[in-house]
């Protein structure tokens, strides 16, 4: 740059250069949350992004354990479970029921405990909220229609099953998972049914659902249920059906079978079978258990 020309004039535009270059801004940029790098103290031990976690603030829920109800704080909710904060005496694999909103709760098992933080695993199968005999009838029809080639599994427990009453039949856990599609807010989202009854359902939905909206729950080409979203916490949504739903229509759907073994994401944890801990029957055992119903 010509300093004399700069002082007395006559400098061309091409000579116009700053004496000191401006500094490049550091730190966070406006409206850019990803502009600041955060250094990790250690590398990831496993892929933790499989289930999207919905962190919550000042969200309370109810927990039912051994007939006692407790008010707990929800930390986050993901597709497979929830983290809660509570001062409750629990042990690993204790069965609890988590109520996020009105209606039925979600069956859970305690997977880990650290101080006052408790990790809950949601039951895999879809709970049918009806009487044991009605549930047995629905399961019989579903197995006959969706799994006609399934073989029986004979065992000592199964031979005793036909002599059990409705209470014992209702205590056995089936391995079936029902899914569907929720049509809402000009979009369609695959959903998973946590439980279903004649009056409503609790679903897991990855897309936000507005409370008060009126979605359509499609379970098959022949079954579409008008409903109202009565509450939503994380990815769990409570639906209230506009009219009573006949659970026997589930025989016209094709449920999936829950995995027999739980896939442990962390080798440091216990690698026991989730099915054994839950007391869940295989599909063959369920058919054997319902053998008396199947022959009616």
At CA 171, angle to CA 166 and CA 174, rounded to 5?
110
Instruction: Give the max Cα distance, the chain.
Output: 110
Best CA proximity match to 94, nearest among 109, 83, 72: 109
Percent of the chain residues past pLDDT 90, beyond the cut:
53
pLDDT at 3: 59
The residue with tokens 């216990």 is 270
Tokens representing residue 93 in the block? 């694999």
Mean pLDDT of the chain: 79
Q: How many helices (H) and strands (E) does the chain have?
A: 7, 15
- pLDDT confidence bin for 154, thresholds 50/70/90: low
Ramachandran region of residue 95, left (φ > 0), alpha (ψ -120 to 50) or beta? beta
Q: 100 with 233: CB under 8 angstroms? A: yes
The residue with tokens 């807010």 is 185
Tokens representing residue 208 in the block? 């936000």
Asked if the model's pLDDT at residue 51 lies above 70, the reply is no
Which residues 6+ apart lie within 8 Å of 214 measured at CB?
226, 227, 228, 229, 242
42 compared with 143, residue with greater pLDDT: 143
Mean pLDDT for the stretch of residues 30-37: 44
Q: Which range has highest mean pLDDT (44-58, 142-156, 198-212)?
A: 198-212
pLDDT at 45: 38
Q: 123 with 107: CB under 8 angstroms? A: yes
Asked if the model's pLDDT at residue 160 lies above 70, the reply is no
Q: What is the rounded distance in angstroms from the CA atom of residue 129 to the CA atom of residue 197?
A: 5
208 compared with 35, residue with greater pLDDT: 208
Measured in whole angstroms, how far is the alpha carbon of residue 32 from the centre of its chain? 31
**DSSP reduced 3-state for 108:** strand
**DSSP reduced 3-state for 51:** coil
pLDDT at 289: 81
Convert the pLDDT of each residue in 92-121 to its tens digit. 999 999 999 988 899 999 999 999 999 999
Asked if the model's pLDDT at residue 38 lies above 60, the reply is no
pLDDT at 7: 60
Q: What is the rounded distance in angstroms from the CA atom of residue 55 to the CA atom of residue 76?
A: 4
Q: What is the rounded distance in angstroms from the CA atom of residue 140 to the CA atom of residue 27?
A: 63
Phi, psi of 109 (to 5 degrees): -130, 145
99 compared with 261, residue with greater pLDDT: 99
Which residues 6+ apart lie within 8 Å of 153 measured at CB?
282, 284, 285, 287, 288
- Please state whether the predicted TM-score (pTM) of the whole model is above 0.85: no
Q: How many residues does the chain have?
A: 296
- pLDDT confidence bin for 260, thresholds 50/70/90: low
Best CA proximity match to 173, nearest among 257, 235, 250: 257
């Amino acid at each position: 740059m010509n300093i004399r020309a700069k002082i007395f004039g006559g400098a061309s535009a091409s000579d116009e250069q700053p004496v000191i270059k401006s500094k490049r801004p550091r730190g966070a940029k406006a409206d850019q949350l990803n502009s600041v790098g955060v250094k990790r103290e250690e590398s990831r031990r496993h892929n933790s992004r499989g289930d999207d976690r919905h962190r919550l603030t000042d969200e309370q829920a109810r927990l039912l354990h051994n007939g006692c109800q407790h008010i707990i704080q929800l930390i986050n909710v993901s597709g497979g479970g929830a983290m809660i904060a509570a001062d409750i005496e629990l042990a690993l694999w204790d069965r609890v029921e988590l109520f996020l909103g009105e209606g039925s709760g979600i069956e859970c098992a305690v997977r880990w405990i650290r101080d006052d933080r408790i990790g809950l695993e949601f039951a895999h199968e879809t709970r049918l909220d009806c009487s044991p005999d009605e549930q047995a009838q629905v399961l019989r029809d579903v197995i006959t229609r969706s799994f006609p080639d399934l073989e029986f599994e004979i065992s000592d427990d199964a031979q005793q099953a036909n002599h059990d009453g409705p209470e014992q039949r209702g205590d056995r856990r089936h391995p079936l998972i029902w899914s569907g599609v929720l049509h809402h807010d000009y979009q369609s989202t695959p959903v998973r049914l946590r439980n279903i009854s004649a009056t409503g359902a609790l679903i897991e939905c990855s897309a936000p659902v507005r409370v008060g909206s009126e979605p359509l729950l499609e379970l098959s080409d022949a079954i579409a249920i008008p409903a109202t979203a009565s509450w939503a916490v994380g990815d769990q949504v409570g639906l209230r059906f506009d009219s009573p739903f006949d659970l026997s229509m589930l025989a016209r759907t094709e449920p999936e079978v829950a995995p027999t073994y739980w896939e442990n994401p962390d080798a440091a944890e216990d690698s026991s079978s989730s099915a054994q801990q839950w007391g869940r029957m295989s599909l063959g055992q369920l058919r054997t258990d319902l053998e008396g119903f199947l022959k009616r």
